Amino acid sequence: MAKIDEIKEHIGALKNYMNIIIAIILAIGAGISRLYIADHINILFWVGSILIIFLLIIFAIIARELHKNIAKLKEL
Mind listing the pLDDT tens digit of every residue in the chain (76 residues)? 688 888 899 999 999 999 999 999 999 999 999 999 999 899 999 999 999 999 999 999 999 999 999 988 887 7
Give me the pLDDT at residue 72, please. 86
Q: What is the pTM of this model?
A: 0.84
Give me the pLDDT at residue 1, please. 66
A 10 A CB-CB count for 55 gives: 17
63 and 18 in contact (C-beta within 8 Å)? yes
Extract the runs of DSSP E, i.e. beta strands, from 1-76: none
Give me the pLDDT at residue 74, please. 82
